[in-house]
Structure 1
Amino acid sequence: MIRKSLNLKEDIQMTLNQIKTQFPYRYDVVGSLLRPAMLKTARAQLAAGTLSAEDLTRIQRAETKRVVQRQVELGLKAVTDGEFNRSWWHLDFLWGLTGVGHYDYQQSYKFHGSQTRTDNADLIGRIAFNPDHPFFESFRYLQSLVPAGVVVKQTIPSPTMLFRDNRSDNWHQFYPTWDAYLDDLAQAYHDTILRFYELGCRYLQLDDTTWAYLISRLNATQDDAVAHQEVVDLAENAVYVINRLLTGLPEDLTVTTHICRGNFKSTYLFSGGYDDVADYLGRLHYDGLFLEYDNARAGSFAPLKKIWHNDPDKRLVLGLITSKFPELEDPATITARIHEAAEQVPLANLALSTQCGFASTEEGNQLTEDQQWAKLKLVKRIADNVWPES
């Protein structure tokens, strides 16, 4: 992909000498996989003080090797570690950045019908790249497992997750201005991604629930000008930080995002179509976006045209296969929906995945491992039929 320069006010003209789109693949995996019982038990034993960190790492690596082999056997061209190196999809990574601490939020995140644990992150200093971030060692191990022709996909949370949910309330203790904080946050992410690149990463994804949150808040604040402006400011801040961190990254590094509506024990956080955030999403300089479209809560395909933004190298990955429930979708129905989406965006710029990962937290969704693999197999089967060249 051609890495665009940062300019939030005008479209970027693509050069004639473009790098052919490789990722996301026509069939792709979002990221997290169900945690095996052995790994869950090991984490509980570590917390109880009956297992060493070294033993947890040994178990984690053995289970990671197993699921990587299974993904390769399924024919996936990009594989993840299932996010087995973390308990939360976002917090473990944020805690590894310089300037981020761990505290008890004393509140559960507001999922429908389920309560989460109460961990959270907050600023304890100026935010910065941590050269000893534990995710780097996990990446090295994952990279050692993949055979030729298979790419490692590294997932981390979007930086927007650090200026939501009270995590940056005390920014003024460390920064003279909010903009200075946002610049440091973007730089910390930029440097972190470059380190992954140095280790061999060529495909990285930023997971993000902020846009789904904004969908709900933009609607809810229409009659309150002050509150609505705060939401708009959050959206603009998100565009600024994301595009700033992407600026100047290597051209052969693909960076995508997954727009998530929440995923905990097969429940969700947010509802609503992409209409209200489509313009913002269209301004983001990602190479691809994974979009949840597994039920009516996602709305219509109409916003896809704005999100795609006439970018010939951008792929939109339709999350039409749910990761929340075990029932397998009808291939003909999914194929028809893909072609319906192609009325908004060229078929060549579309791909297929599950709507989310299978275990955004270590608790996981209400499926078995066999049902999880059946879902991923279905994604590949349908994609092979729709895009036979894949």
Structure 2
Amino acid sequence: MKLDQVGSFLRPKILKEARENFALGKIDEEQLRSIEDSCIRDLLEECDKAGIYYLSDGELRRSWWHLDFYWGFGGIKKIKKEKGYIFKGIETRAEGIEIESKIECNNHPFLKDFERLMQIAKGLKIDTNRLKLTIPSPSMLLYMLFIRGDKNTEFNYYGKDFTKLKNDILNAYENFYKEFAALGGVYLQLDDTSFGSLCDYEFCALNEINADDICEEYVDFLNESLKTMPKNIMSAIHICRGNYRSRYVASGSYMKVAKKLFGELRVDKFFLEFDDERAGDFEPLKYINDQIAVLGILTSKTNESPSVEELKARVKIAAQFLNPKQIEISTQCGFSSTEEGNEIFTHSQWEKIKLLKQVLSELENEGFFS
């Protein structure tokens, strides 16, 4: 079995300082990129040494896990908002998106970033087929516009023409997929907090949404997008409940969306959060067909970790609902979905990776996956 990881890692101090200096005009973009490259090189080496098979740039070049990607589309601009996004007990930076013209994908900066990642990997003699890129899902953009955002300011170009909006989003993603594949990319992970929010009854009531209707719309929309993804790309989706400075947005079992989401979404892998009581039990796994379920059994939000035996026991409970051959493990989320990072120590993130590697090794030795 291969150890995977959701994506983001804590930003090194030198990188945070470089961003501050760049914002102040003390260094230029080329100097910033050089520091980013150095930090990513160190991260790749550390991840490879720790036993993580699928490697990414740790999202070290980004400010947000999702907004940076949308800002890279033509037609979407970065805006300052009056308020940030509300998490449990905290409000984020007040930044967002505004659609000012037709959404399209032309020379997306993430593709240049991935090219640099491939060059760094080659320099370290790491097989580039082990590299993955994480991006927000197509349905996340709908969620950002219609549920999580200010509809009056963020949806002013398309008006009421929802069909044209959806078609342009699909076309933009299709172009991105094809350009990613042309670079030699073979693994794309779609990150998504919409489905996790739909599992939260309080969230749905507050936003006056019908979870069943939204789930059906988003799964169907995602499947339309996945049809356009080149066949050689392995696709994954991370069903997140929110991650900002160790806080979350939603709670609730996946059971509310499982039949439609797990039963019908045509991805190769599901990254799912099962790290605490907020996540509910493993029964929703029974709706997964032949895909891999990457069980996020270890929190990325705090320094504390369960024992190896406790984590192994959780995986074995999950196997009551899913074939062990379809199970992989990871942390519940990334360590730094935004540049602020979770409120944990740097050494803690590596201790957690080491712990997962030990769990995986012991389960393999016990013949669990065979």
**2:61 equivalent to 1:78:** no
Alignment check: 8 A CA contact 1:213 1:270 kept: yes
Q: Identity over aligned residues, as a percent?
A: 36
Alignment check: 8 A CA contact 2:3 2:54 kept: no
Alignment check: 8 A CA contact 2:212 2:257 kept: no
Q: Report the TM-score when normalising by structure 1.
A: 0.86
Distance 1:303 1:174, change over 3 A: same
Aligned to 1:36: 12
Q: Secondary structure at the match of 2:117?
A: helix
Alignment check: 8 A CA contact 1:126 1:175 kept: no
Paired with 2:303 and 2:344, the residues of 1 have a C-alpha distance of 6
Stretches of structure 2 lacking an aligned partner (at least 5 in a row): none
Offset of residue 249 of structure 1:
2.5
Higher normalized helix content (fraction of residues): 2
Q: Secondary structure at the match of 2:200?
A: helix
Q: Report the TM-score when normalising by structure 2.
A: 0.91
Offset of residue 167 of structure 1:
6.4
Higher RCO structure, 1 or 2 (CA under 8 Å, sep 6+): 1
Offset of residue 328 of structure 1:
2.8
Offset of residue 176 of structure 1:
6.5
Q: Secondary structure at the match of 1:387?
A: helix
Paired with 2:126 and 2:21, the residues of 1 have a C-alpha distance of 36
Paired with 1:304 and 1:167, the residues of 2 have a C-alpha distance of 34
Offset of residue 286 of structure 1:
0.8
Which whole-Å deviations, capped at 9, do the CAs of 1:279-308 have from their partners, x for residues lacking one? 2312111111100110000001111111x1
Paired with 2:85 and 2:172, the residues of 1 have a C-alpha distance of 26
**2:232 equivalent to 1:252:** yes
Alignment check: 8 A CA contact 1:108 1:116 kept: yes
Q: Select the residue among 113, 119, 127 that pairs with 1:138.
A: 113
**2:317 equivalent to 1:340:** yes
Offset of residue 149 of structure 1:
4.2
Alignment check: 8 A CA contact 1:255 1:287 kept: yes
Offset of residue 55 of structure 1:
1.3
Alignment check: 8 A CA contact 2:67 2:97 kept: yes
Alignment check: 8 A CA contact 1:289 1:317 kept: yes
**2:27 equivalent to 1:47:** no
Alignment check: 8 A CA contact 2:99 2:157 kept: no
Stretches of structure 1 lacking an aligned partner (at least 5 in a row): 1-24
Greater shift after overlay, 210-219 or 240-249?
A: 210-219
Q: Secondary structure at the match of 1:196?
A: helix
Offset of residue 162 of structure 1:
1.6
Aligned to 1:106: 82
Tell me the matched-pair count.
Answer: 357
Q: Map 1:299-314 onto structure 2 (within 5 A).
A: 299-306=280-287, 308=288, 310-311=289-290, 314=291
Offset of residue 220 of structure 1:
4.4
Q: Select the residue among 40, 50, 54 that pairs with 1:64.
A: 40
Alignment check: 8 A CA contact 1:172 1:178 kept: no
State the superposition RMSD in angstroms: 2.1
